[in-house]
Amino acid sequence: MADEKVKSDPSAPPAEYNVGDFNSTTKLADAPAMIDDAEYNPFEHRQIEKPNSTAGSLIHLLKSSLGTGILAMPVAFKNAGLLFGAIGTVVVGLICTHCVHILVKTSHQICQRTRIPVLGFAETAERVFEYGPPKLRRLAGFSKAFVDYALMATYYSAGCVYIVFIATSFHDVINYTTDNDWNVRIYILLTMIPILVIGQIRELKYLVPFSALANLFIVVTFGITLYYIFKDPLEFDDKPLFSSFGTLPLFFSTVIFAMEGIGVVMPVENSMAKPQHFLGCPGVLNTAMGTVIVLYAVIGFFGYVRFGELAKGSVTLNLPLQDDLAIAAQILIALAILFTFGLQFYVPMDILWRKIQHKIPKNKHMISQIALRSGIMIIMGGVGLAVPELEPFIGLVGAVFFSSLGLFVPCVVETVFYWPNELGKFRWVLIKNIIFGAFSIFALVAGAYSKRSNLMNEEMELKATSGPESVLPTSTEDDDHYEPFRHRRVKKPSSTSGTIIHMLKGSLGTGILAMPSAFRNGGLVFGLLGTTLVGVIYAHCVYLLVSTSQKSSKRMRVPQLGFSETAQSVFRYGPHGTRRFANVAKGYIDYSLLIVSFFSVCVYLIFISTTLRGVINSLTGLTWDTRIYILLTAVPLIFVTQVRELRYLVPFSALANTLILVTFCITLYYIFREPIDLSGCRLFPEITALPSFFGTVVYAVEGIGVVLPVENKMKHPEHFLACPGVLGTVITFIMLLYNVTGFFGYARYGASTEANVTANLGSDEVLALSTQLLAALAILFTLGIYYYVPMDILWRKVKHFFVPERHNMAQIAIRFGILLAMTALALGVPELEPFIGLVGSICSATLGLLTPIMLDTVYRWPVEGSFGWYRWRLIKNCLLLAFGVFILIVGTYFSIKDIVSIYG
């Protein structure tokens, strides 16, 4: 593309411009203006190589807003009622239309003011802030970057979902009609063939036929759906006019995200041969949105009347599957999404190419675009292959960004542009934009909440359906003489000291700062005894898990087994009554570890970002939102989460441990800098406080998910359970630190001890604030080891779908895609912690305490005399199981109580 400067002199010879040439780097001429800004007409200075007709622009805009979301309208009406649904759909449609109108109008006006022929969405936001009030001008670069990266994140993520959606639709239809049993991943690979072709189209003009076909398929599906809706008499009497206030957020989120297509607006308008036809009356915008509103209202109203409370997320799911016409509707929807891909892919590629084209020689532009587009589409397909349950996470990304991009950003842009003297009589523009901005925030929160609910439902409904992995003997030796350690072939093993660092990081986290609160509930004497008891029990459970894994490896004659493979082996070779649960045990552990680990990433992101916001905003006077810090935190995590070998994570874990210890030392300084008075502290707890005490200590100490991955990567695995060994050293050190911090922290602050003791240090001293910052950085450097465990599980499940030469690229894509989804989840649902606490309470108690005890019991059961004299090991395991069940019930109870207090 060309990179010429925009000429301010209208008499100058016209330059050739493309849409992508006008961005944040476009320079204004240094010469003085020869005509007034008011006389400058941006439309007359546009030089577009391949402009789009008015009809073509109308088709594109219809396609951007008229998608499969129309089929979700009956369920939207179910959440609103007939009357409110009809009125609400029209109101939301008018608001969306108005926000597009003010965005385009503001873009035209800033083009006129800056004497630039054309500006995109991000460039419009940048120029508005650049020429806005002096105090806001420093935000110009940020506003452009936010819009650009939000658009790219949204559309690339949506592309992954489109690929999965298309493949799943054809999988269901073809397998149903032909009795095939092909896996959905085969259909994803087949779908990638036309995707790779459509995604190479770089001009909107050439995408018009695809958008037209997609619109046609949508309309035909719409017609088929209407046929099933109206073929029998409709009953209106049992349908409420208004549903309930509690379901209104679901209604608004569904309608807004179904209609919103803001990312396509500026590219479509900028590519028009006659851009003056975009606004106006009727104009492209009014015609397209009027059509969309009418169609959405009709299908929503009558679809709800037909199916009532049985209405599903897509109304096609309510159609009878035994009818060929209903099957045709599903095929047409899949084809419509396929032909829509080019338009959805155009927006992020246009942004990305403008950012990097100047780094590539012009004679390499063609091959670079082909390679870049193909590479990104392959990554998207790889993400779809690896994570076919991606839709809830991407829905959350769309919910967050589309509501902010489509509603909030246009209102902000118009307000800043007109500030302070052009806001109309009584500043009605400001009042109007505040109202619409508040509505957009409501839509964002409502959409994020509903998507979070869907996400939680998806995750909790995962079934342990994975089949047994092939575990073959690697030697012909007798079982008694097989030594697993001698047969391990670890490419890059960790040293014993590195393993100690990883184990310390697995259990030694910010939980140490919660120990004074635990002692507040347990008392000084009982706190010491109880913390030591929990540490001993946890160490014993880790010992049982590792020893059982090593014995199972020897019995199966394999070098090593992971957590879930150990459980599968134990049950498979256990008593006859347990063998059928082998695969269930493996699946439960795998998915529990995945859920806990990935969701913990979201919580840690929120923790880091909230801490950074509190510290930085208080020191600098900034007023940045937590979500800005979430995005900033995600940048270094892009690199940290790409580390795939434990040995390379040792420096990160060591640094995290150092930061935690420094935080610990600063905390001790504040604790001991004045004499401590023990007279106001309890020695023993009240009975009602015991659950809180044990819950805090167990979840602070427990790090079972890291144990076997770390042990399996050791150069000398025999050092793990030796005396003193890795396990004994780590647990002893942790118990010492936890007891010291808990005892003296409670002794210092007494009944006023906060849940995180750093909150007791105050915020008026830089040293006190630094403890919070160091804790946040420690968690940041810890995320690599937390990311390792679930990625190791996930990669073992999916790597056989990729040829070996694609493993590196597939791993990069999967790791980045999951981090993107976790970041989006953190952005959208900042009140996620209670739900993670619930999942953690259930999974951590079962994984860290109950499962190792159960595995040891099942392994020993068939072997005569293995429980020792008077079956003392069985009695001991029963007592420990009772303790674990107590922790499980208590943790679950308090997590649910927190959720009810926040959302109830």
Band (pLDDT 50/70/90 cuts) for residue 834 is: low
CB 886 within 8 A of CB 692: no
Q: Give, in order, the Cα–Cα distances in Å from 17 to each of 8, 41, 139, 380.
A: 14, 16, 28, 31
Q: How far apart are CA 261 and CA 58, in angstroms?
A: 13
Report whether 543 contacts 780 (CB < 8 A): no
State the residue for tokens 């507040």: 520
- Residue with the bigger pLDDT between 815 and 836: it is 815
Average pLDDT score over residue span 77-93: 86
Structure-block tokens of residue 676: 């401590």
Residue 13 CB coordination number (10 Å): 6
On whether the 495-902 domain is CATH 1.20.1740, my answer is yes
CB 795 within 8 A of CB 812: no
- In terms of pLDDT, which residue wins out, 323 or 31? 323
Nearest to 381 by CA among 341, 347, 436: 341
Residue partners of 471: CB distance under 8 A and separation at least 6: 556, 558, 565, 569
Please choose, from the candidates 863, 708, 876, the residue with its C-alpha nearest in 3D space to the C-alpha of residue 789. 708
Which residues 6+ apart lie within 8 Å of 609 measured at CB?
626, 627, 629, 630, 632, 633, 826
Residue 606 has pLDDT above 50, yes or no: yes
Other C-beta atoms closer than 10 Å to the C-beta of 109 total 17
pLDDT at 15 over 80: no
Question: What number of other Cβ atoms are within 10 A of residue 718's Cβ?
Answer: 12
Establish whether domains 51-449 and 495-902 are of one fold. Answer: yes
Out of 358-372, 614-628, 736-750, pick the least confident. 614-628
> 714: helix, coil or strand?
strand
DSSP 45: G
More confident residue, 474 or 326: 326
% of residues, the chain, pLDDT over 90: 1
3-state secondary structure of 33: coil
Please tell me the predicted confidence (pLDDT) of residue 756. Answer: 66
| Spatial CB neighbours of 544, under 8 Å, sequence gap ≥ 6 | 852, 853, 855, 856
Q: Check pLDDT > 80 for residue 570.
A: yes
Taking the C-alpha atoms of residue 715 and residue 723, their distance in angstroms, rounded to an integer, is 17
Cβ proximity of 811 and 382 under 8 Å: no
Rounded to an integer, the average pLDDT of 243-251 is 72
Q: CA-to-CA distance for 823 and 632, rounded, in angstroms?
A: 10
pLDDT band at 513 (very low <50, low <70, confident <90, very high): confident
Residue 272, phi then psi, degrees to nearest 5? -80, 140
Q: Is the pLDDT of residue 845 over 80?
A: no
Separation CA 336–CA 213 (nearest Å)? 7
pLDDT of residue 612: 81
- Buried b or exposed e, range 770-779, using 16+ CB within 10 angstroms: bbbbbbbbbb
- Across the range 694-722, mean pLDDT stands at 78
d(CA 878, CA 883): 9
Q: Measured between alpha carbons, how far is 756 from 549 in angstroms, rounded to an integer? A: 36
Classify residue 250 by burial, with Cβ atoms within 10 Å: 0-12, 13-18, 19+: buried
CATH of domain 51-449: 1.20.1740.10
Calpha distance 350→397 (Å, rounded):
20
Identify the band that residue 899 occupies on the pLDDT scale cut at 50, 70 and 90.
low
- pLDDT band at 12, cuts 50/70/90? very low
What does the pLDDT read at residue 477? 40
pLDDT at 8: 38
Task: Kindly tell me if the per-residue pLDDT of 314 is higher than 80.
Answer: no
Dihedral sign for Cα atoms in the order 326, 330, 333, 338? negative
In percent, the amount of the chain with pLDDT more than 70 equals 81
Q: Which is higher by pLDDT, 47 or 837?
A: 47
Per residue in 364-406, pLDDT (tens digit) is 888 888 888 888 888 888 877 876 654 444 445 545 666 677 7
Best CA proximity match to 462, nearest among 592, 568, 564:
592
pLDDT at 795 over 80: yes
State the pLDDT at residue 498: 78
- pLDDT the model gives residue 402: 63
The highest-confidence range among 531-545, 590-604, 680-694, by mean pLDDT, is: 531-545
Of 202, 284, 306, 245, the C-alpha closest to 80 is 245
Cβ atoms of 527 and 746 closer than 8 Å: yes
Instruction: Point out the least confidently predicted range of 190-194, 259-263, 814-818, 868-872.
Output: 259-263
Render pLDDT for 178-207 as a digit per residue (tens, 0 to 9): 777 788 788 888 888 988 888 888 887 787
Q: What mean pLDDT value characterizes the chain?
A: 76
pLDDT of residue 904: 54
**772 phi and psi, to 5 degrees?**
-65, -40
Q: Are 518 and 531 in contact (CB under 8 A)?
A: yes
Residue showing tokens 């690599």 = 784
For the four alpha carbons of 758, 761, 764 and 770, in that order, the dihedral sign comes to negative
- Tell me how crowded residue 430 is: count the other CB atoms within 10 A of its CB: 17
Instruction: Give the integer Cα–Cα distance in Å for 512 and 745.
Output: 11
Two structure tokens written together for 568: 């599968």
Our measurement of the distance from residue 245's CA atom to the centroid of its chain's CA atoms, rounded to an integer in Å, reads 28
The pLDDT assigned to 469 comes to 37
Tell me, what DSSP letter sits at residue 560? -
Whether the Cβ atoms of residue 493 and residue 715 lie closer than 8 Å to each other: yes
What is the structure's pLDDT at 400? Answer: 63
Question: How many CB atoms lie under 10 A from the CB of residue 198?
Answer: 17
Alpha carbon of residue 887 to chain centroid: 29
* Domain residue extents for the chain: 51-449, 495-902
Question: Per the confidence metrics, is the pTM higher than 0.75?
Answer: no
- Determine contact, residues 696/894, Cβ cutoff 8 Å: no
pLDDT at 36 > cutoff 70: no
Q: Could you give the CA distance from residue 409 to residue 395 in angstroms, rounded to a whole number?
A: 20
Name the helix (H) or strand (E) containing 384: helix 365-386
Separation of CA 869 from chain center: 52
Residue 283 backbone class (left: φ over 0; alpha: ψ -120 to 50; beta: rest): left
**What is the model's pLDDT at position 898?**
65
Structure tokens at 787: 């990311």
Gap between the Cα atoms of 868 and 673, Å rounded: 52
DSSP 861: T
Token pair belonging to 287? 């015609």
pLDDT of residue 529: 92
pLDDT tens column, 251-292: 777 777 667 666 667 777 777 777 777 777 777 888 888 888
Tell me the C-alpha distance between 208 and 196, whole Å: 18
Is 406:158 a contact under the CB 8 Å cutoff?
no
Q: Looking at the DSSP assignment, which residues form a beta bridge with residue 272?
A: 52
The mean pLDDT of 549-574, rounded to a whole number, is 86
CB atoms near residue 839 (< 10 Å):
19
Judge whether residue 889 has pLDDT over 60: yes
Mean pLDDT value of segment 775-799 = 79
Provide the sign of the torsion angle of the four alpha carbons 695, 696, 700, 701, taken in this order.
Answer: negative
Residue 14 forms beta bridges with which residues? none
Q: Please state, in angstroms and rounded to a whole number, the distance separating the CA atoms of residues 388 and 363.
A: 39
Residue 647's closest CA among 728, 704, 712, 721?
712
Is pLDDT above 80 for 524?
A: yes
Q: Could you tell me the two tokens for 340?
A: 């829509």
Reported as half-sphere exposure (CB side, CA atoms, 13 A), residue 139 has a value of 18
Of 212-216, 473-477, 484-488, 833-837, the one with minimum mean pLDDT is 473-477
11 or 494, which is more confident:
494
Cα 772 to Cα 615: distance, rounded to the nearest angstrom: 8
